[in-house]
Structure 1
Amino acid sequence: MNGVLQSIFTIILTVEFIIGNIGNGIIAVVNIIDLVKRRKISSVDQILTALAISRIALLWLVLVNWWFIMFSPGKWMTKRMVGILHSIWTAFNQFSLWFATSLSIFCFFKIANFSNTIFLYFKVRVKKVMAGALLVSLVLLCLNIIVINVPENIFIPEYKINMSYSLSLNNTQPSVLFSFANTIFVFIPFAVSLVTFLLLIFSLCKHLRKMQHSSQGSKDISTKAHIRALQTVIASLLLYAIFFLSLVVKVWGSLLLERKLLLLITQAARTAFPSVHSCVLILGNPKLRKASLSVLLWLRCRSKDRNPSVHRAGAQLCGSSCIS
């Protein structure tokens, strides 16, 4: 049974790794090509590119860590290596979360419509708001790395690694504290994304009430922009919630006896956010959607070895998607 579970979740993680690398790779390549052609890049494309690159690095780190632990547990997972690995994973994970949160903040200020003075002040200074959010993320990242490393050197004398590739401590209480602290640092960007989502809903409701008293009706440009943004944010927030809940479950699971199934489920759930969320971002962005469709068309033509005219059509579609 253990071998079956190991094989199933290895396949799941491999599929998530492939999907995440393809999705994030398309986002990064399309925006980089656009930058080379136009010599400039929009703020949202800058965020998307940084988010994609950080997630590709995170997915590779997760996959390499998974395969090393599964095939050679105990050979390289020393106390020092665990600390380094936790620090690197924390850095890429925090960058990924805060870039996703920055994207939610940017969409909120660009689409929402309030007459509040504070909102209008930040709306015209959205780039400074994004810079401030990234600065806060760097400060929190430094604090997070300090929390997971300094107490570890003081309170944890040694690690015990068994063949079930789950890391256990001689004393489980410090592990709970570290996992809880890490969950708190993850909760901060999650809470910011949740607030922007609720404010977007409030802005849409307010806009719809205003449209009901006018002759334009409810299907104007602003309403459609609100709805498209909410569709993307809802999917993003759902994946974000799954990611956050997996961390909470991991904290509670560390209070119990060592459970391999719990470790496997939480690992697969955490990997789903940087992987599947790239597909959500592609579907919500017309330029990225056209580029991904052109890639799929090109792959389909290559696999079926169709006539050259179809290949040229796919290449032309890819070029037009990058320019648009």
Structure 2
Amino acid sequence: MGSNLYGILTIVMIAEFIFGNVSNGFILLTNCIDWARKRTLSFICWILLFLAISRMVSIWEMLLAWLKYMKNSFSFLAGTELRVMMFIWVVSNHFSLWLATILSIFYLLKIATFSRPVFLYLKWRVKKVILTILLGSLIFLMFNILLVNRHIEDWMYQYERNLTWNSRVSKFGAFSNLVLLEMIVFSVTPFTMALVSFILLIFSLWKHLQKMHLNSRGEKDPSTKAHVNALRIMVSFLILYATYFLSFFISLIPMAHKKGLDLMFSLIVGLFYPASHSFILILGHSNLRQASLFVVMYLRCGQKH
């Protein structure tokens, strides 16, 4: 039973890895082609481009973590190698979460219809607001890197003192738990901002539908469609974001005594977020959706011939 479960989880993890690379690679390739043709990209396309890059790096980092674990080489990482791995993971995770949050705020400012002076001020300066949030998030990234680097220094000190395999494994487990707890803490802020944006967008849609109540167009109204489409993307983001949080907690609490089973559960849950949300973004963005339909039609025509 254990070997069957292990095999099933391996297949699921590989499928998520492939799906995540395809969906994010499609976003990356489509925007790169558009930039090569037009020599320019819209603001939201730049966000999607860098979001796809950060997620692809995160996906490959998760695969590398799994391979390292399978070789029992985590506990014997050299200082430089450990620093590079942790730096890449922290940076890719940071931008994967913050850029998705910025996308939610962008939808709120572009679509919501509030008449408050503060909101209108932000709405008219949406690019400056987004850039300010992005630059502000770098402060969180800096503190996160500094804390992780401090934990690495402590781990390397213990590594040099404890030469037995069991002691190194134990100390590395404590180190990884501290890093995961910090990732959870640093992820709370972007999640809260995305949640607030979602609630405000719901309220805006409710007010808009009230105004449209006597209008026969109803849901066919372009503004209503934009609201609904943005809400779908933001709902998917929040749900998948929550599953990503869950993957951190799974890593903190061993679920099974079998080798690698707890990490495998964590990776499966963690991979579900960057793969699935990018696919939903493709369906929700008109240019990406049209490009995906073109690819599907091209493949169908190729099969007929």
TM-score of the superposition, structure 1-length normalised? 0.83
- Rounded to whole Å, the distance in 2 between the matches of 1:281 and 1:18 is 17
SS of 1:73's equivalent? Answer: coil
1:1-324 equivalence runs, <5 A: 2-70=2-70, 72-74=71-73, 77-78=76-77, 80=79, 81-154=81-154, 157-158=158-159, 168-170=169-171, 175-212=176-213, 214-215=214-215, 218-219=218-219, 220-251=221-252, 253=253, 260-302=260-302, 304=303, 306-307=304-305
Quote the residue 1:311 is aligned against: none
Contact 1:104 1:193 in 2 (8 A): yes
Q: Retained in 2: the 8 A contact 1:83–1:149? A: yes
Give the structure with the higher percent helix: 2
Once the two structures are TM-superposed, the CA of residue 64 in structure 1 deviates from its matched residue by 2.7
Label 1:28 to 1:75 Cα distance change in 2 as closer, same or farther (>3 A).
closer
Distance in 2 between the 1:37 and 1:294 partners? 17
Deviation at 1:210, TM superposition (A): 2.2
Q: In structure 2, what is the Cα distance between the partners aligned to 1:112 and 1:6?
A: 47
Measured in 2, the distance between the counterparts of 1:170 and 1:258 equals 18
1:245 Cα deviation after fit: 2.2
> Which residue identity lines up with residue 192 of structure 1 in the other structure?
M
- Structure 1 residue 54: deviation in Å? 1.5
Deviation per CA, 1:218-269, whole angstroms, max 9, x where unpaired? 3322111111111111112111111112223433x16x99674332212111
Please say if residues 187 and 244 of structure 1, whose CA atoms lie closer than 8 Å, have aligned partners that are also in contact. no
| Distance (Å, rounded) in 2 between the aligned partners of 1:161 and 1:194 | 44
CA RMSD between the two structures: 2.6
Deviation at 1:161, TM superposition (A): 6.8
- SS in structure 2 of the partner of residue 135 of structure 1: helix
Give the CA deviation at 1:125: 0.6
In 1, Cα distance between the equivalents of 2:171 and 2:60? 29
Distance verdict in 2 for CA 1:154–1:57, change over 3 Å: closer
Alignment CA distance shift 1:143-1:117 (3 Å): same
Cα deviation, residue 200, structure 1: 0.6
Distance 1:290 1:257, change over 3 A: closer
- The 3 A distance-change label for structure 1 pair 284 and 216 is same
- Give the superposition deviation at 1:192: 1.1
Q: Is the 8 A contact 1:98 1:189 kept in 2?
A: yes
Q: Unaligned regions of 5+ residues in structure 1, if any?
A: 308-324
Distance in 2 (CA, whole Å) between partners of 1:178 and 1:54 is 19
- Conservation of the 8 A alpha-carbon contact between 2:75 and 2:169: no
On the 8 A contact 1:169/1:175 being kept in 2, the answer is: no
Aligned residue for 1:40, secondary structure, equals: coil
Q: Distance in 1 between matches of 2:165 and 2:90?
A: 21
Tell me the distance in 2 between the aligned counterparts of 1:202 and 1:250: 36
Is the CA contact 2:250–2:265 (under 8 Å) kept in the aligned structure 1?
no
5+ long unaligned stretches in structure 2? none
Cα distance in 1 for partners of 2:29, 2:123 equals 29
Q: How far is the alpha carbon of 1:176 from its aligned partner?
A: 3.9
- Partners of 2:31 and 2:45 within 8 A in 1: yes
Name the count of aligned residue pairs: 297
Where 2:25 maps in the other structure, the secondary structure is helix
Distance 1:157 1:112, change over 3 A: same
User: 2-side partners of 1:273 and 1:173: how far apart?
Assistant: 26
Equivalent residues of 1:5, 1:261 under 8 A apart: no
Task: Give 3-state SS (helix, strand or coil) of 1:157's partner.
Answer: helix
> Identical aligned pairs, as a percentage?
39
